[in-house]
Structure formats: C-alpha cells, structure tokens
Amino acid sequence: MLMNQPKVNEMDVLVLAPFGKDSMLVESVLRQSGINVCVAGEIQEIVLAVPERAGTAIIAEEALHQRDINEIAQRLEAQPPWSDFPIIVLTGSGDSTVATENAVRSRAPLGNVALLERPLRPATLISAVRTALAARRRQYEIRDHLQKRQMAEEALRSARDALETIVEERTTALRHLSAQLLRVQDDERRRIARELHDSLGQYLAAAKIHIDMLALNRAPDRETYVADIQDLLDRAISETRTLSHLLHPPLLDTAGFASAASWYVEGFGKRSGIKVSLKMPDNLNRLSEGVETALFRIMQEALTNVHRHSGSTAVDIALMTDDNAVTLTIRDFGQGISKEVLDRFSHSGTNVGVGLAGIRERVKELGGMLEIESGKGGTTLKACIPISEQSRGLLGGNATSQMYSSLAS
C-alpha cells in the first residue's frame, strides 16, 4: 500500500529513474519547457496511473524488473477501449546490455512503448514527451466524448422510460375514463327515462284519461275536465322544457355563457340550498361555441361535485377575461380533496371521478391549463383557456338572462 501518494493530474509526466541524475535531469528539462512533472518513488505509482491518470510515464530500464513488467502489462491489458497509455523507456544505462531493447519488447507486451537512448538529448526528450502527451490528450478527448454520449444515451433512455410510463398511465386513465363515461351515460339515460316515465309520462297519461272521458261523454263536469287537461299539459310542457334546458340550455347558443351561467346558477341554488356567488365582467363578449360550451360544462360539473362531495354551503364563481385568455375560478368551502388523491390526479389523472377527469380533458382539448388547490378550507378549481380573435363574437350581455329565469325553479 502506498503512503503519501502524490496527486497526479491527467497530463502530468510520471518519471521513475531510481539511479543517477536521470530523474533530476528529466524533471529540469521538462519543467523548463512548461511540462508538468511528477517524480515517482516506486513502480506502483506508474501502475496506478495506467487506466486514466497522467499523460505518460518515463521509466529507466533498470527500474523494470520482470515482476514489475508483468504487473504493468496486466494493467495495460485492462485499459478501457479508448486508452493506450504511452510509456517512454530510457535505455543505455551503465547496467544495460546490447539486448536491452529486445528484452523490453520480448518480456512483456508493454504496448505503446518508445525507447530513448542515453545520454539524453533535451530536444529529443522534449519531442518524445510532447508527442506522447498529444496522443494521450486525444485519448482523453475520446474518453470525454464517449462519456458525454453515454450520459446522453442514459438520459434519453431514462426519458423514454419515463415517457412510456406516462403513456401507460395515461392510457390506463383514459381507459378508466372511457368506462366511467359509459357508466355516466347509462346513468343519465336511466335518469331521463325515469323523469319521462314518472313525471312527463304521468301527466300525459292523466290528460289522455280525461280526454277519453270527454270523448265518451262520461265527464260529469266538462269544464272542470278541460281545465284539468290544460293544467296537465302545461305541467308536461314545463317538465319537458326544464329537462331539455338542463341537458343543453338554449341560452348558451342564443345569448352566450353569461346568460346561461346566470340561469343555471340561480336554479342550482334553489335546488341544492347552496349559496352561489357569480361574478362576471359587465357586457361579457361572446366567445367561440367550443369555449362557451366548455366553460358551461366545467361550471356545471364543478357545482355538481360541490353538491355531492364537498359539504360546502357556499360557492364563489368568478370569470375573468383579457386579450389572451378566459379564466373560470370556482371555490367552495367544504371538506376538500385529500392530498394523496390530488397528487395522483395531477400525476396521472387516475383515482378521481369522471367529473374532474372530464373537466381536465375539456381544458386540455382547448389548449388550456387546469389548476386545483385543496385543503381544510375547501377546494379551488381554476380553468384557464386561451382565446383568439376568431373565438370572440359580438358583444353580449346579461339582459336576456331573465328570459328563462322561471326555469330555475
């Protein structure tokens, strides 16, 4: 184990020359040429530098014993693909023989080896070292490029995995939403059928009985029967109109969102007992059919959720517009939505009712943003939908909202 191992930078030159003045000479010549030098005390420092530390190593041949050569060779064989660590061997020392060069080459595959004959010429030494460092610098550049590419590939792989997860979650959410929509559709059809049978159907059946009695001259009081028939037909017409308007209020098409919202809010308050505050700009401009329908359905669904789930006794509704967007904010003061449910909804749109999921899809379809904040003080839903010149219509107002005010009851 090495003690007090010196810090070696990537482009430093490691020098191991244990005898004579070679070490000092090499260090002095290289430093005068602006090359960083680190004198090694033992062969292990060279071995540790092989993978990706230091720029090159200068080793005197007398420091290369068989065991050291084998160890360096093993280290060289384990280099990463981009690395070909350059080694400069100083030959021609007093202890060397004519076979030194052949011995160095044959005893171990040291790979990228350059031999420098002693006595050293400074110019030759500097040239050999700079050549080795230039080659090593290119290797490090290749390493950095490979690392960046690997990081980019990992980031791309991670993004792809995340995208696949999101797609899978959204697909599951859409599948659940589709199933919920089918159930809601079936429930709505059953509700309409029940309304038609229990209310409208009963009025028409009673009117038909009265008409049959009149046709058979069995009515004891003809005028009373006619009055009853008129009353039954009036009720049937009123029920039909109410049911039709709840499905799609004609005010939404004829007068715009402002009038339809005022009518619906008034009726909702009477039916539910919840106090509703509605604030809108005076003389609200007409918007495109798609935006106005989306705003009305978002408000309608949000109020339904407040009535069913929040336990709130009041709701504040505010509509704001500018040149770029229209924002609908609905705030209740009920028990709120749990953080876990809200987090799952924000992340994947799952584990919520079809109402919120439907609202989010409507807003997303129009390129808008949906924000939901909830806590112990209640829930705030904010839908922001972009508008353009094409989506603005003629100036609308609230004057016609009184046309259908009687329907709210």
pLDDT, position 391: 47
Q: Which two tokens stand for residue 12?
A: 């430093």
pLDDT, position 93: 57
Q: Which two tokens stand for residue 354?
A: 């079809």
End-to-end CA distance of the chain: 92
Nearest to 393 by CA among 290, 296, 287: 287
φ, ψ (nearest 5 deg) of residue 37: -130, 140
Say what the pTM is: 0.46
CB atoms within 10 A of CB 67: 9
- Give the whole-angstrom CA distance, residue 178 versus residue 46: 68
CB atoms within 10 A of CB 333: 16
Residue 28 contacts residue 16 (beta carbons within 8 Å)? no
- Give the whole-angstrom CA distance, residue 356 versus residue 349: 9
Q: Which two tokens stand for residue 376?
A: 């112990």
Rounding to the nearest 10 degrees, give the CA dihedral for residues 267, 271, 275, 280: -20
Residue 107 contacts residue 12 (beta carbons within 8 Å)? no
Residue located via tokens 């400069």: 88
The reply to whether 13-120 and 251-408 are identical in fold is: no
Q: Which two tokens stand for residue 51?
A: 């993978």
Q: Strand pairing partners for 375?
A: 378
Q: Would you say how long the chain is, in residues?
A: 409
CA atoms within 13 A on the CB side of 189: 6
DSSP states of 106-170 as a string?
HHS---SEEEEESSPPHHHHHHHHHHHHHHHHHHHHHHHHHHHHHHHHHHHHHHHHHHHHHHHHH
SS3 state at 9: coil
φ, ψ (nearest 5 deg) of residue 390: -70, -25
Q: Which CATH class is domain 251-408?
A: alpha beta
Strands 314-321 and 369-375: unpaired
Distances from the Cα of 217 to the Cα of 55, 220, 228, angstroms = 119, 8, 16
Q: Which two tokens stand for residue 44?
A: 């292990």
- Give the whole-angstrom CA distance, residue 104 versus residue 91: 10
Domains of the chain, residue spans: 13-120, 251-408
Burial of 247 (0-12, 13-18, 19+ CB in 10 A): exposed
- Give the whole-angstrom CA distance, residue 280 versus residue 261: 10
pLDDT, position 110: 67
354 CB contacts (<8 Å, ≥6 apart)? 177, 180, 181, 183, 184
Q: What is the DSSP letter of 336?
A: -
pLDDT, position 252: 79
Domain 13-120, second-level architecture: 3-Layer(aba) Sandwich (3.40)
Cis peptide before 386 (omega within 30 of 0): no
DSSP E strands, 53-107 = 56-60, 87-91
Radius of gyration (Cα) for the chain, nearest Å?
44
Q: What is the DSSP letter of 5?
A: P
pLDDT tens for each residue of the chain, 409 residues long: 444 455 778 888 888 887 667 888 888 999 999 999 988 888 888 888 877 778 898 988 888 777 878 888 888 888 888 988 898 888 875 454 555 545 555 444 567 888 888 888 899 999 999 999 999 999 999 999 999 999 999 999 999 999 998 888 878 777 777 776 667 667 767 777 777 766 777 878 888 887 877 777 776 777 787 888 888 888 888 777 667 666 667 777 788 888 888 988 988 888 889 999 999 988 888 888 889 988 998 998 889 888 888 888 999 999 998 888 999 999 999 888 888 878 777 765 555 555 777 788 888 888 899 998 888 889 999 999 998 654 444 333 333 333 333 333 3
